[in-house]
Amino acid sequence: MSDEKIVIYGHQASRASRPYWLLREYGKTINEDFIEVDTGGPVTGFNEVRDSEEFLALNPYRLIPVMKHGDVVLYESQAICQYIADLLGGPMAAQDAGERARINMYGLNSIANFEPNFLPMVFGQGGEEGKKRFIENLEPLLGALNTELEGREYLIGEGAGRFTVADIMMASVVGQYGRAIKFDFSPWPNIDAWVQLTTRRPAFYPPRDMKVNPLKD
Ligand SMILES: N[C@@H](CCC(=O)N[C@@H](CS)C(=O)NCC(=O)O)C(=O)O
């Protein structure tokens, strides 16, 4: 395992906010414990780093975030989150193979099912008609997630569960995007409570000098 610092290419106003949130949960500070290479992002505009040879060698798909830790290079925000959790360990990480697979399951679920319906609403895609369709798509998904959260506070672990990287990955989509568009979660009270519990954590919010509101990503 490399003792080099983790390097994240990205920007807070992008899906890089997911590994940044996780790193803050571990008490890590940008440019002290890990390095941020600012690429700009879709909201602020990308800068020249994203088209540099150095960046394209790491990710020919030209998407952020990208993580480099020694010889390990990863793109896909949720894969990066899972690597960091495994690396830093503790209760936020998987404790066994079953938990690791379930954490991965939530990472996939968040981007395969929820993100394609929440993110376009954040950008107002499709206007009112689009919004109606995205909400119709989301209703059964939210019903299922609400069922999974019945009697629980968090997604992973015995009993009410414990806060893990799975909550960060799912809440970065359902919670962050939902709150950004003031989505009405009241028909799904277990999700409503979980969104509050996860996205009100102090580490959810970037430090002031990052100057970006995560609810406006
Ligand atoms: N599934 C990927 C999506 C990566 C992605 O689409 N990133 C956006 C920024 S949030 C990007 O780099 N877009 C490039 C562009 O808009 O040209 C992940 O979760 O990392």
Q: Beta strand pairing status for 40-41 and 66-69?
A: unpaired
Q: Is the CB of 64 under 6 A from ligand 1?
A: yes
Residue 63, ligand 1, Cβ within 6 A:
yes
pLDDT at 2: 85
CATH placement of domain 97-202: 1.20.1050.10
Ligand 1 centroid vs 15 CA: distance in angstroms?
Answer: 7
Predicted confidence (pLDDT) per residue in 177-204, tens digit = 999 999 999 999 999 999 999 999 999 9
Write out the two tokens for 138.
């989301």
- Helix, strand, coil percent values for the chain (each to nearest 5): 55, 10, 35
Backbone dihedral angles phi then psi of residue 154, each to the nearest 5 degrees: -130, 170
| pLDDT level of residue 214 (50, 70, 90 thresholds) | low
Judge whether 138 and 120 are in contact, CB under 8 Å.
no
- Class of residue 209 by CB neighbours under 10 A (exposed 0-12, middle 13-18, buried 19+): exposed
pLDDT tens per residue, range 21-70: 999 999 999 989 999 999 999 989 999 999 999 999 999 999 999 999 99
Distance 182 CA to ligand 1 centre (A): 23
Give the integer Cα–Cα distance in Å for 137 and 61. Answer: 28
The tokens for 101 are 């697979």
| Closest residue by CA, ligand 1 atom 12 | 63
Q: Is 191 exposed, middle or buried (0-12, 13-18, 19+ CB in 10 A)?
A: buried
Tens-place pLDDT, residues 74-97? 999 999 999 999 999 999 999 999
Helix, strand or coil, per DSSP, at residue 34:
strand
- Which SS3 state, helix, strand or coil, does residue 73 take? strand
Residue 42 CB less than 6 A away from ligand 1: yes
Q: What's the predicted TM-score (pTM) here?
A: 0.96
186 φ, ψ to 5°? -60, -30
- Type of residue found at 160: A
- What CATH architecture is 6-88? 3-Layer(aba) Sandwich (3.40)
Domain locations in the chain?
Answer: 6-88, 97-202
For a mutational test of ligand 1's pocket, the pick from 17, 39, 64, i.e. the residue with the most ligand atoms closer than 8 A to its C-beta, is 64
Give me ligand 1 centre to Cα 148, in Å: 28
